[in-house]
Structure 1
Amino acid sequence: MGRNLTKFVEAAQPVKYMGGFDYALVHCPRCDDMAIRRECHVTCGSCAYTDRLKRKPKVKPVEPSQTVMCPECNRYVGTYRSDLRLHRLRCRGCGWAKEPTARQWPVPKRHKRAPLWLDIDFRGNSLWAWNDQHLSFMEAYVAAGVRDVSPSNSTIASRLPAWIKSGKNREDLLRALAKLRARLPENMPPTI
């Protein structure tokens, strides 16, 4: 028992809740270098990428309505536009009918987020941190032998998975967190 373990006091931490971090470090979608995501907007200092630019909405060309003639008796049946739902068409002369086609709903687009910059695989689990402050919090928590945490279940420390809280993974977790710390640049850009 010759280890000199520190004490972790959650009340002394500058950020106690996940919503307290105002930015995240992510991979730039353009150059794959480190970028900053703040309020769902990504800005890269290396390639000057930003997704804050207003884009013109895509305008679909409107097709004119088409006149439908009966293929049997060549009578006027009705009109429709291909961008609107096709209603049932029926010829009053010969009884020919065209049923509406099944409407294909588009697959919802998933919101694509840039992957986190500070993310590493740890024994099949994802060990990640939002930013340098979150990484410092994780290092202090893992290194501590005695952890004084809040009894509520809404703080960062209370939401950590059991494999991070376990003391048997302490040394390996500290090495993995050191690898994440090495990914940060020497002189972090100002985040304000």
Structure 2
Amino acid sequence: MGRGLTRFVEADQPVKHLGGFDHALVHCPRCDGKAISRAGRLTCGSCAYTSELHRKPVKEAPFQSVMCPDCNRHIGRYREDPRLLRLRCRGCGWTKAPAAKPPWTAPKRTRRTGLWLETDFRGRTLWARNEQHLEFLERYVAAGVRETGPFNSTIASRLPAWIKSGKNRDDLLRALAKLRARLR
């Protein structure tokens, strides 16, 4: 420890897990400026853009009445997709076996805003949620002695090996300084 490196004690850190940070700095979807995402709401200071990030609650599907195709008799009422159910008419005995698996639907694409404090580091993404997270990373990387807890439940224990490695310390500190410059 002759280089004047500091000591990092995980127990002294104010935030123990990544969800403990109250906000994230992200790119504004309208002007690509710095915006704040807090409690499901995105707010941009430069263009005054605001948006609710929570999805609207999905309304429960109404009951669907199913009629027999042969005798036009009422078979039942179902909430689920009738193609997935075994159907049987009590009047004429008509039956229909369920489909092998649910019909495939393409996943919905959601537009996700990128983090403001994000950079490339040797083909990997180095990122921080906000100023407090960036300060945490700077303290951790700069430390020569790192005291962490015994369990894999805190931020420091979940960091990737390339951040924990001492051989990347100087380059990581330079990359974190670039992220610090983006805050201004």
The two structures have a TM-score, normalised by structure 1, of 0.68
> Structure 1 pair 50/170, CA: closer, same or farther in 2 (3 Å)?
same
Count residues with an aligned counterpart.
142
Q: Deviations over 1:54-109 (max 9, x none)?
A: 9xxxxxxxxxxxxxxxxxxxxxxxxxxxxxx9xxxxxxxxxxxxxxxxxx865221
* Distance of 2:106 and 2:25 partners within structure 1: 30
Q: Deviations over 1:13-67 (max 9, x none)?
A: 111111101110000000000000112321101000011399xxxxxxxxxxxxx
Partner of 1:149: 148
Partner of 1:25: 25
Backbone CA RMSD of aligned residues = 2.6
Larger Rg: 1
* Distance of 1:138 and 1:41 partners within structure 2: 25
Identical amino acids, percent of aligned pairs = 72
Check whether the contact 2:42–2:53 (CA below 8 A) recurs between aligned residues.
Answer: no
* Distance of 2:125 and 2:114 partners within structure 1: 12
Partner of 2:85: none
Q: Which secondary structure state, in structure 1, belongs to the residue aligned with residue 177 of structure 2?
A: helix
Partner of 1:109: 108
Aligned counterparts, 1:12-161, within 5 A: 12-52=12-52, 106-161=105-160
> Structure 1 pair 49/158, CA: closer, same or farther in 2 (3 Å)?
same
The two structures have a TM-score, normalised by structure 2, of 0.71
Q: Which secondary structure state, in structure 2, belongs to the residue aligned with residue 127 of structure 1?
A: strand
1:8 aligns with 2:8: yes
Q: Which sections of structure 1, spanning at least 5 residues, go unmatched?
A: 55-84, 86-103, 186-192
Q: Which sections of structure 2, spanning at least 5 residues, go unmatched?
A: 55-81, 83-102
* Distance of 2:112 and 2:38 partners within structure 1: 12
